[in-house]
Amino acid sequence: MKYKRNEPFRYEFGVPVDMNFFISRIDGKSASSSEGEGKMLDISPSGLRMQSSLNIPSNKDIELTLQITIGNQELSLIGKIVWQKKVYPSYQYGVELISEAFEEQIISALKEFQKQHRDSPSK
């Protein structure tokens, strides 16, 4: 499935950020999987790209609950998988966040993260 991104910006992390997630809904029905581990590769106010060794079914409508720490802020986000790509030996996923309320949290966390990582003086 090809997915076109139309967001104003996407923040790509130099070093992927550790994250945890679990499946909270499958095809609109409540579910509760065991927790999985992954890496967040980039994020925008409306979605993110993650990588995991887990092969999450791509033929179903999957909703994830994601636990991510950006800087000092812990975020709990909910999103739907919109695409999957095999990147040996793991998988990458595009996750579209399902609430606009997450946008403010993400922007705030990224601003704090950026402040923490630009302390090195330029010469």
Q: What is the model's pTM?
A: 0.84
CA distance linking residue 91 with residue 36, whole number of Å: 13
**4 found inside a domain:** no
Q: H/E element holding 115?
A: helix 101-117
* Tally of domains in the chain: 1
What is the three-class DSSP state of 117? Answer: helix
pLDDT value for 7:
56
pLDDT value for 8:
64
pLDDT value for 1:
37
Domain enclosing residue 69, as ranges: 11-117
Chunked in runs of 10, what are the mean pLDDT values of the chain (123 residues)? 57 92 94 94 94 91 95 92 94 93 86 76 46
Please report, as a single letter, which amino acid is at residue 44. Answer: S
CA distance linking residue 20 with residue 116, whole number of Å: 23
**103 found inside a domain:** yes
CATH number of domain containing 68: 2.40.10.220
pLDDT value for 116:
81
**63 found inside a domain:** yes
- Say if CB 35 and CB 70 are below 8 A apart: no
